[in-house]
Chains A and B, each alone.
Chain A
Amino acid sequence: MNEASLIGLFVATVSFGALLYLAALGELLTEKAGVLNLGVEGMMAIGAVTAFIAGVEFENPWAALVVAMISGAALASVHGFFTVALGAEQVVSGLSLTILGVGLAAYLGKDYVGLPPGAKLEPVQWGGLSDLPWVGPIFFSQAPLVYLALVMGVAVSLVLSNTRLGLALRAAGESASSTDSAGHSVLGLRLFAVAAGGALAGASGAYLTLSLTPQWAEGLTAGRGWIAVALVIFGAWRPGRVAWGALLFGGTLALKTRLQTFGVDFSPIILSMLPYLLTLAILLAISVRSRKRPSPAPTGLGLAYRREER
């Protein structure tokens, strides 16, 4: 194991971490407002394919990113319509959304499979910082979306804890009826959170096709949407903790393809179970502890709100 390959591992850890973080932040925002969206995998797939298509057509990576975020938000709004406006079962609608997103992505992308990318988000160079040993390549030569993930993490955290909007969003997730009594529109807040979450999942998908693996193929998201769902729980619905979790889970993704290079005789398949097993462990730990302290999960998560039934 030499220095270059170790640096490579950390670079990939940060990239994969950011990929997971963007999607997980979206899910966190959605869940904070009381809506569980199990359609992350589908929204990521749609983000990935629309970013790629827009990249080929417009040859501008930023336009591609915007298209992906809008598409992600639009798809998420299907879930929003059914679960928030109509009050349908969130689990069923979310899983249907994954089926819809993955199918739609395959349909839209079928003429783009194997094409060279029309636009890429190239790594950002930070002058002298990028030349530093270790730190330079790991933190200061990453794709723009890594920094976007960081900015979004701070932004989501600040909005949720320090603004009226954030307070209202969290209230909608904790107790919809009292939020309603306080004069806020639970419907509007939840629809917004769902759509914003979809935009972030779309951005995460765009990161795949604009930087990480700049091409389109069916099944490109490879179950990473489920890791994002897990991350939210792993990070106890807190943006900061989710970020650390994203690095940890990103590390397992990065390590998976490198085990052999490092001469470690351990199955990469077993390694890839780790994020899910860790999440299960954390869930158990949270619940054992929450006998003394309240659970960090939003109280109203998964519950539809209809004014007439309050």
Chain B
Amino acid sequence: MKHPRLHLREAPLPGGQPLAFAIGLTVALFVGTLLLLGAGHDPVRIYSRMFEASLGGPDAWAVTLNRAVPLGLAGLAVAVAGSMGLWNIGAEGQIMAGAIAASWVARIGGDWPGLVLIVAMLLAALGGGGLLAVGPAIARARLGVNEIITTLMLNEVAIRLAQWLIHGPWKDPGAHNFPLAPMLPDQAHLPTLFSRAHCGLLIAAAVIGISSLAVRYTAWGYELRIAGSSEATARYSGISLSRKILTVLVISGGIAGLAGGVELTGTADRLTESISNGFGFAGIIVAALALMRPSGVAVVALLFGAVQIGGQSIQTLGVSSSVSTILQAFVLFGAIGAGVFSRYRILLDGEAPVVPEEVNQ
């Protein structure tokens, strides 16, 4: 019997990752069709509605872009850590920490002018997210504690911290005993660009752009990538790994925190328990699909945002929201699988690995 096995390609297939995403989408559409038929819906009607609601006009684009902003920032947070081979699984909690810190500023600065207040809130969000990452960063840099688990645990802690604030010290006395944080001051909302799209888009684009350039063109980014590809090489070339780990994880946490601040000032009225909304976890997937490249994150976040918004829109047609969750999962698995095949060729046992012929000349 012949067992298929995987053989590493000399270089990944050109365009492999966009192809992987397209394959993921195709798989998801196929599975989605089955699910929709199973639930007695007309797939064509549902899919055209999804497209309409996410990309079918300026209003739809605005909603999709607003969704792409936290996804992109969270994805960037993961990708920055990922380009050094670190896993920040804690973006979900760091988003929460950012939103908490920004809300705190809004509480003390309720009468500050809009621009000052918003800038202060966003800086606080940056700091809040970074602060939550400091512990895992030190533990990883100084003690070698795996950052996957520490950041994961802190997610649960941060979300409970928000719950506690909302149910306790920050509960709005005017909310008729409902556990709600008070409304943000009016001037704490980000101005809009067009339709409902808010300025967070510019912030996210700027942060992604700067990070992308920093990782690609600065000495700092070069060292980062060396450390990511080979710890030994980094050590021999005199890069201080532990300082690098420390700064990168804290920056990563800060970017995720910023996502929380932007989400709060951009789309929310108040701090809620669900403000992080799975963006942190989605960000991991966005970053992985972008192969941990900050520049790829923007594109993937936009596509993923469209999938999410489209998925939400069909709830009004009576399609359970779980269908859209399942669709997302299939996009992911389809893309993960296709991503593997773009880097590996399948060989049957006994077959010698084929050395690819030189294409040029």
Contact = CB atoms under 8 A, between A and B. Distances in A.
- Asked if A pairs with B, the answer is yes
The CB with the most chain B CB atoms within 10 A, among A78, A93, A99, is that of: A99
Contact of A287 (B145, B285, B337, B340): B145
Q: Is the interface of B mostly helix, strand, loop or mixed?
A: helix
Contacts, number: 138
A7 interface: no
Contacts of A288: 143
A103 B325 contact: yes
B152 interface: yes
Interface string B289-328: 0000000000000000000000000000000111111101
Given A96-B333, A104-B322, A107-B35, A280 B6 contact: no
Interface residues on A, range: 35 or more
B321 A309 contact: no
Nearest to A233: B149
B243 interface: no
B281 A297 contact: no
B8 A96 contact: no
A267 B328 CA distance: 36
Nearest to A307: B5
A283 interface: yes
Interface residues of B, number: 50
A89 B78 CA distance: 14
A103 B329 contact: yes
A297 B145 CA distance: 11
Interface string A213-226: 00000100001001
Interface in B129-168: 135, 139, 143-146, 148-150, 152-157, 160-161, 163-164, 167-168
Interface in A279-310: 279-280, 283-284, 287-288, 297, 302, 306-309
The CB with the most chain B CB atoms within 10 A, among A92, A110, A233, A284, is that of: A92
Contact of A96 (B154, B155, B156, B285): B285
Contacts of B326: 100, 103-104, 107
Interface in A168-221: 218
Contacts of B148: 36, 91, 302
Given A103-B326, A106-B325, A276-B153, A95 B281 contact: yes
B154 A276 contact: yes
Contacts of A38: 89, 152
A174 B143 CA distance: 21
B145 A96 contact: no
B8 A273 contact: no
Contacts of B7: 308
A92 B322 contact: no
Contacts of B161: 273
B332 interface: yes
Contacts of B164: 267, 269-270
A276 B157 contact: yes
A93 B335 CA distance: 10
A229 B152 contact: yes
A96 B336 contact: yes
Contact of A89 (B8, B288, B324, B344): B288
A78 to B, nearest CB: 7
A100 B24 CA distance: 14
A228 to B, nearest CB: 12
B282 to A, nearest CB: 8
Nearest to A267: B164
Interface of B: 5-8, 35, 87, 89, 135, 139, 143-146, 148-150, 152-157, 160-161, 163-164, 167-168, 281, 284-285, 288, 320-326, 328-330, 332-333, 336-337, 339-340, 344, 353
23 contacts: A82-B333, A82-B340, A86-B344, A87-B340, A95-B285, A96-B333, A99-B325, A104-B326, A104-B329, A106-B320, A107-B35, A107-B326, A110-B322, A226-B156, A230-B149, A269-B167, A276-B156, A279-B149, A283-B149, A287-B144, A302-B148, A308-B5, A308-B7
Q: Which 5 A-B pairs have the closest CB atoms?
A: A103-B325, A100-B329, A106-B322, A107-B322, A96-B332
Interface of A: 36, 38, 78, 82, 86-89, 91-93, 95-100, 102-107, 110, 218, 223, 226, 229-230, 233, 267, 269-270, 272-273, 276-277, 279-280, 283-284, 287-288, 297, 302, 306-309
Given A88-B337, A99-B328, A283-B146, 8 more contacts: A38-B89, A91-B148, A92-B288, A102-B325, A103-B322, A103-B326, A107-B322, A269-B160
